[in-house]
Structure 1
Amino acid sequence: MLSNGKSVVVTPKFFDDAAIRYLEGHGCSVTLARLPDDKADAAATEAELISVLAQADAWIVGHANVTSSLLESLPRLKVIARRGVGYEKIDLDAAAKTGKVITIATGGNEESVADRTLALMLAAAHRLRESQQQLIDGPASILLGSDLYAKTVGIVGLGRIARNVIRRLKAFDTTILVNTPRPAFVYGESMNIEYVELETLLQRSDFVSIHAPLKPDTRHLINADRLALMKENAFLINTARGGLVDDQALLAALKAGDIAGAGLDVFESELDASLAEVTKEMVRRPNVVATPHSGASTHEGLQRTNMVAANCVASVLNGEMPSSKCLIAGPANCAG
């Protein structure tokens, strides 16, 4: 254990007592930062973040933008542990330049996001939003939905969340198509999935679920041309990252009736505020079921990701290497 009480600042909300006790048991002092107006760290200004992090040795972060100028302003900071798995908001080049260790909470939230993916599929296909609104407004009529059972589902990407989605889909007797740059053939054979090109997947699938990472070459992976390949009775599900789908093109496709509906937990406007009105118009549509990037936010999912982040922080501050599954950036030797 550490004897000099390393400072850990936590900026995301819902950080539980078990994770705090774990850090304290490993010689860390823990501060749950309260940002002005009780805002989330994604909405915090750089000055506000610097104010709460100035004396921190470690930062457990939610969705804040971790920029080069922010990292350069925090010379004491040794490790940034993302409570989640996406790290597109972190300047990894700047982290390497300033000697910061960056970790993600691998294995913490994949079950929760997989559950949300199935929930959005079912809610969109069964028209739950429209049915409830009819009951509220009255009079209600019976709206015919669509089954997930025995349908063809296209999975774009084959990471941990995608595999958990596939495992759940097997219970629905679905035919599963997968598009990935790195097919796993032994896995594919064991799960009876078919690897196909993206265009083929879009043409054949009744549901298309996105599980790819957001990188420069995957931005607008689903664009107007690819949306046009989908069936008119198909549903698009995105629980991965806003920006993988061209939301303006998706809105146009929904308005034109080119696809049946969408289930969305992520939006382009999260990274591009100029698209906020596109998001607002899209989520108002009756055939869209939407949640605010909260797929990982279950009691159990956050407890798991909190503990993974805490473990990464304690490892680095104790001069040890965090799990290789969690380490995104950092010197070869994390001892400090």
Structure 2
Amino acid sequence: MLDHRHKIVVTQRFFDSIASDFLQNHGCEVVVAELAPGQADGDLSERQLIDLLADADGWIVGHANVTSSLLNALPRVQVIARRGVGYERVDTAAVAAAGKVATIATGGNDASVADHTVALMLAVCRQLKRCQMGLSGNDWSIPLGGDLYRKTVGIVGLGRIGRGVLQRLFGFEVRPLIYTPHPGGAEADGDFVDLDTLLRQSDFITLHAPLNPQTQGLIDERALNLMKRSAVLINTARGGLVRDADLLRALREKRIAGAGLDVFESESDPSLLPVTEQLIQLPNVIVTPHVGASTVEGLNRTNLIAAQCAVAVLEGRSPPSHCVIADGRRAVGCESRVDNRP
């Protein structure tokens, strides 16, 4: 238990009472930022964030950029706890250099994203968008869909979410192909192959890799040209894994059959918003607004994990190692821990 009250500011929506009660029961004052309708903390300027966090000891964050300049303006903040697992917007080196701790909510939303991935596969192959659009125009003609049953599914990235998807697909009796950059020690009921083989042979390709310099633009013109004309691409990981302009061309030219997208390049590069808008309009593309992790249950789990990590740091303890992405409290130098599994 904390010896005195610490202030924790939450800049994410949907912070539930269980997580809030946990913080309060551990001696924390909880302040949930009031955001405008449709606004996320990633939309806030650095000045706005500084004003919100000036007297905070801990910060539970969503999609805001955690930069060196922001951290230097917040000397009191000890812990930055992400309610999520991606952390490309967190400057982990700057966190460590500032003597602070940054964490992610590992394990909290895996099931939610895995469920959403399979939902997108089924929605695309059964042409649910065409069905919905047809009925909206009083057109009861029947689009001919396809099965997920006994198809070859390529899984790119075998972290927690990739494994969750694989587990769910067993009921469809699929043939799994798996590509992971570091397969050593990895075990799964599927065939480990190189990326090109996976692209050539798969009926569905689903992305579950982290976004880093090695995976940026992993699915580009070249990769799309290797895929079957009947193939479906699913991306519930990070928009930067796919060159969306290349994907748009491939879909329009019928070089692949369809796509299910929960993430887009334009999320980090607004200049690509016209590409996103054109993808949204295609009848063979099912899109959702980065909601894969956003279920009541998934957010409750990640809220609590973020809260637990924040309390651990403020109590002078270490959060679970798989949640720590940067820890600058080391007596000798600064250390960043990185978990590359999505």
TM-score of the aligned structures, taking structure 1 as reference length: 0.96
| Runs of 4 or more consecutive aligned structure 1 residues displaced over 3 Å after TM superposition | 35-38
Contact 2:57 2:79 in 1 (8 A): yes
Match runs of 1:228-267 below 5 Å:
228-267=225-264
Aligned to 2:104: 104
What is the DSSP-based 3-state SS (H/G/I as helix, E as strand, rest coil) of the residue aligned with 2:7? strand
Residue type of the alignment partner of 1:222: I
Aligned to 2:306: 309
Describe the shift of the 1:194–1:23 C-alpha distance in structure 2 as closer, same or farther (beyond 3 A): same
Structure 2: runs of 5 or more not aligned: 332-342
Aligned to 1:323: 320
Match runs of 1:10-89 below 5 Å:
10-35=10-35, 39-89=39-89
Contact 1:35 1:48 in 2 (8 A): no
CA shift, 1:3, in A, is: 2.7
Contact 1:155 1:211 in 2 (8 A): yes
224, 229, 234: which one aligns with 1:227: 224
CA–CA distance in 1 between the matches of 2:183 and 2:213?
21
What is the DSSP-based 3-state SS (H/G/I as helix, E as strand, rest coil) of the residue aligned with 2:239? coil
* Aligned residue pairs, count: 331
CA–CA distance in 2 between the matches of 1:301 and 1:330?
26
Superimposed CA distance per residue, residues 191-211 of structure 1 (whole angstroms, 9 cap, x where no aligned partner): 2x0010100000000000000
213, 218, 231: which one aligns with 1:216: 213
Describe the shift of the 1:185–1:318 C-alpha distance in structure 2 as closer, same or farther (beyond 3 A): closer
Describe the shift of the 1:186–1:43 C-alpha distance in structure 2 as closer, same or farther (beyond 3 A): closer
Aligned to 2:154: 154
What is the DSSP-based 3-state SS (H/G/I as helix, E as strand, rest coil) of the residue aligned with 2:115? helix
Contact 1:104 1:326 in 2 (8 A): yes
Superimposed CA distance per residue, residues 275-329 of structure 1 (whole angstroms, 9 cap, x where no aligned partner): 0110011011111101111100000000000000000001000110000010110
CA shift, 1:331, in A, is: 2.8
Contact 2:99 2:329 in 1 (8 A): no
Aligned to 2:336: none
Residue type of the alignment partner of 2:171: A
Superimposed CA distance per residue, residues 62-92 of structure 1 (whole angstroms, 9 cap, x where no aligned partner): 1111111111111111000000000000111
What is the DSSP-based 3-state SS (H/G/I as helix, E as strand, rest coil) of the residue aligned with 1:325? helix
Aligned to 2:126: 126
CA shift, 1:252, in A, is: 0.5
Identity %: 56
What is the DSSP-based 3-state SS (H/G/I as helix, E as strand, rest coil) of the residue aligned with 2:169? helix
Match runs of 1:133-212 below 5 Å:
133-183=133-183, 187-188=187-188, 191=189, 193-212=190-209
CA–CA distance in 1 between the matches of 2:252 and 2:320?
46
Describe the shift of the 1:179–1:303 C-alpha distance in structure 2 as closer, same or farther (beyond 3 A): same
CA–CA distance in 1 between the matches of 2:122 and 2:184?
28
Contact 1:126 1:145 in 2 (8 A): yes
Superimposed CA distance per residue, residues 20-47 of structure 1 (whole angstroms, 9 cap, x where no aligned partner): 0000111111000113566210111111
Contact 1:153 1:174 in 2 (8 A): yes
What is the DSSP-based 3-state SS (H/G/I as helix, E as strand, rest coil) of the residue aligned with 2:187? helix
Contact 2:100 2:329 in 1 (8 A): no
CA–CA distance in 1 between the matches of 2:38 and 2:241?
30
Aligned to 2:284: 287
Describe the shift of the 1:140–1:163 C-alpha distance in structure 2 as closer, same or farther (beyond 3 A): same
Contact 1:35 1:44 in 2 (8 A): no
Structure 1: runs of 5 or more not aligned: none
CA–CA distance in 2 between the matches of 1:11 and 1:231?
43
Residue type of the alignment partner of 1:170: F
Aligned to 2:338: none
Describe the shift of the 1:252–1:204 C-alpha distance in structure 2 as closer, same or farther (beyond 3 A): same
What is the DSSP-based 3-state SS (H/G/I as helix, E as strand, rest coil) of the residue aligned with 2:178? strand
Describe the shift of the 1:56–1:38 C-alpha distance in structure 2 as closer, same or farther (beyond 3 A): farther
Describe the shift of the 1:18–1:229 C-alpha distance in structure 2 as closer, same or farther (beyond 3 A): same
Aligned to 1:278: 275
Superimposed CA distance per residue, residues 192-236 of structure 1 (whole angstroms, 9 cap, x where no aligned partner): x00101000000000000000000111000110110010111100
